[in-house]
Structure formats: structure tokens, C-alpha cells
Amino acid sequence: MVAVNDDTARFRAASGPSGRRPLVVIIDNYDSFTYNLAQAFARLGPEVEVHRNDRISVRTLLRRGPDYLVVSPGPGRPGASGRSGAISDVGISDDAMATLRGRVPVLGVCLGHQILARQLGGRVVPTGVPVHGKRDRVFHDGDGIFAELPQPCVVARYHSLAVPPDSLPAAIPVCAWNGDGVVMGLGVPGEATWSVQFHPESYMTPEGDRLLAAFLDGVICAPKRGRSAGSVTVP
């Protein structure tokens, strides 16, 4: 069942055990893929709410009591001002992620991945050649949200910005990368906080539901898991 208005969309799985479902809140950065992401989560059983990044405050978000936070893809850039020069491209996404990290599992997707990278001290730069609607092979450390994925796995990429691995602190593990060494996934040691540059909800990411299911399991990133930032190598 789906209920939609200008501010919020709610998705409920069609079947499942009775009683309260865990709540996944997705912050929508005005991206057409957001509702695909919401439907992918709903298929796995939880209730899903989607809130646009400028239509809800962090305080209101906390009152909703989410069990999980997901920060969506989007056309903006982390830290960039909007057209007004006063409103960020990402709305509350940055603050929401910073506030809820360590409290509930958090997942950043594409733009959400870049937001997390900046929070961790990394930079976000143009890729040189935009990559939109391209399948790619991604290698990973085989742990956390990547534990059930084949090695390598096939994913869908839609982005023109990326995180240079050498811009991240050494303590932050690069959990996934492609054949060119582009950072494709991050984890925060000691937290159930993860991010992916690719789109797990896309039909071009065949194992995406496995990654989302692992995220819903609340897996925690272990210290020094994955390739250390700045030393990504291609197998």
C-alpha cells in the first residue's frame, strides 16, 4: 500500500507478521530513484516513510522514531547552496545523518554516500566523465552489508562526483571499489553506518536486495575492516 502527498510517502509491505513493523525513514534529495529505493525496502518487510529534505526538520524526524535512516541519491552536491544561495542542496540530509549515526543504522546512497564521506573528512570531486546508467563490476571486503554479495558484484552507477580514496582518514575503511579504484562503499568503524556510491535499488544491480537486507540486519562495521583509505588496489 502506498500513500503519497507533497511532503511524505508511506510504503507498507503487502504481507508479513502482524504488529509494529520497523520504520525506515528515507530523506529524499529530490531524486527520481528515491521511490524505487523505498519500494525495494518495503518488499523486505519494514514500513517506509519518505520525507523531502526541505519538508521536515531534524526535530520532527526524531519524533518519528525511525529504526533506520536512509539518505537518498540526488542531483545536488554535498555542502553546496541551492538556487536561493541559502538552502543547501541536501536540506536536512547532512544534519539528519550526523544526528542519527550511532543511534540507528544509517545508509547513504550515491549523494548520501558523498555526504557521509564529507562528514568523515573526505572530499567530493568531479569524476571527469559522468557515469549515468552504466553497469560496473565492484570489488568489496566481503563483510557487513557486502557479506552476501558475489565477488565481484555487478552494480548500477549514476554519478558525476566521487570520493578520492586518499582524501579519507586512514581509520575509515574503503569497503568497496571498482576496477579504477573509485570508492564504491564506506563503513564507519563501530557503527551500523554505511554508504554506497552505486544504486542498490536499480534493476542493473542484481544483488541489491541482499545488500539492503543486510543493512536491515543492523550489521556493524568492524574497526579496520576493508581496504584502508588511500591504499585501494585493484585485484
Q: What is the pLDDT of residues 148-168, one digit of tens each?
A: 999 999 999 999 999 999 999
User: Of 49, 110, 140, 159, which is the active-site residue?
Assistant: 110
Residue ranges of the domains in the chain? 2-228
Q: Is residue 199 annotated as part of the catalytic site, yes or no?
A: yes
Please tell me the distance from the alpha carbon of residue 204 to that of residue 207, in angstroms, as a whole number.
9
Q: Is residue 175 annotated as part of the catalytic site, yes or no?
A: no
Residue 33 has pLDDT above 60, yes or no: yes
3-state secondary structure 168-213: CCCCCEEEEEECCCCEEEEECECCCEEEECCCCCCCCCCCHHHHHH
Quick one: cell of 12?
A: 507498507
- The residues near 145 (Cβ < 8 Å, ≥ 6 apart) are 107, 175, 185, 187, 194, 196, 211, 214, 215, 219
Whole-number percent of the chain with pLDDT over 90: 75
User: Of 47, 49, 159, 201, which is the active-site residue?
Assistant: 201
Cα angle vertex 160, ends 176, 84, to 5°?
125
State the DSSP H helix or E strand holding residue 94, giving kind and residue range, or none if neither.
helix 93-100
- Say whether domain 2-228 belongs to CATH 3.40.50.880: yes
- The residues near 203 (Cβ < 8 Å, ≥ 6 apart) are 156
Please tell me the distance from the alpha carbon of residue 220 to that of residue 122, in angstroms, as a whole number.
21
Q: What is the pLDDT of residues 37-71, one digit of tens each?
A: 999 999 999 999 999 999 999 999 999 999 999 99
Residue 86 has pLDDT above 70, yes or no: no
User: Of 113, 140, 159, 199, which is the active-site residue?
Assistant: 199
